[in-house]
Amino acid sequence: MEVVIVPDATAGGELIAEAIASLLSRKPDALLGVATGSTPLPVYRALAAKVSSGAVDASRARICQLDEYVGLPAGHPESYRSVVLREVVEPLGLSEASFMGPDGSAEDVQAACQAYDKALADAGGVDLQLLGIGTDGHIGFNEPCSSLASRTRIKTLTEQTRIDNARFFDDDIEQVPHHVITQGIGTILDARHPILLATGEGKADAVARTVEGPVASIVPASALQLHPHATVVVDEAAASKLKLADYFRATYAAKPQWQGL
């Protein structure tokens, strides 16, 4: 696991956008896994700016969802499909045909989970998966004590996650669904390059437990330690509880430029 400490969220967004740009230059039809929430927005803004300036050609890129609420009406503005279309697909100038995600309104949710897991594999697998992290260490919606071998499935959200997400529903927790479809930890680890972005002091405990703690289901993100090419990008606030922060800074500063992110 590589840990990169950046000054702030904007710098983190630019760094990851540059990694995506490099990937698209090598593989124009790369399948990019995207996360929702406020944390990855600097990534999407930086990438859209590169596309707009002509520095990046994303015309053949494919986009896939990490997770989706169960039970929200089709077209609900806070369904993750709507969010990804609004914040990623449209700013990159892509069509909805380039996008794939699980069906949270399916009558048979279990079948929808299995179908999405298969669709990702049939598409050749995720080339780069962008991740956020919850205050309790969850990735996707794999809550604490999720199986580290889990595949795409339905999960019940913890009360803390619903509280955290209420800000997207007019601060009304009663509007936040209780269930989601999420890529499992095993599915996430199938991605060729998972990149976790964390910003703010509120994520510092979760980051420290993910990076420096044991691999344990109580901290789902710690499973990234098992991946041969996982990257964790954190700002100074989110890095504030890392015991090895100085080492991480030194190793990144000495990294050969040809290695990239």
Catalytic residues, by residue number, are 67, 136, 138, 143
Q: Is the distance from CB of 190 to CB of 224 less than 8 angstroms?
A: no
CA-to-CA distance for 230 and 215, rounded, in angstroms? 14
Burial class (CB in 10 A: 0-12, 13-18, 19+), 99: middle
Yes or no: say if 238 and 137 are a contact pair by the CB < 8 Å rule.
no
CB contact set of 234 (below 8 Å; sequence gap of 6+):
3, 4, 5, 6, 12, 197, 198, 199, 203, 207, 242
Q: Could you give the 3-state DSSP secondary structure of residue 219?
A: strand
Strands (E) in 44-149, as ranges, are 62-65, 67-69, 99-100, 128-131
Please state, as a whole number, how many other Cβ atoms lie within 10 Å of the Cβ of residue 124.
Answer: 13
Tokens representing residue 202 in the block: 């509120």
Element (H, E) at 198: strand 193-198
Beta strand 31-34 pairing with 62-65: parallel
Helices 9-26, 41-53: axis angle to 10 degrees equals: 50
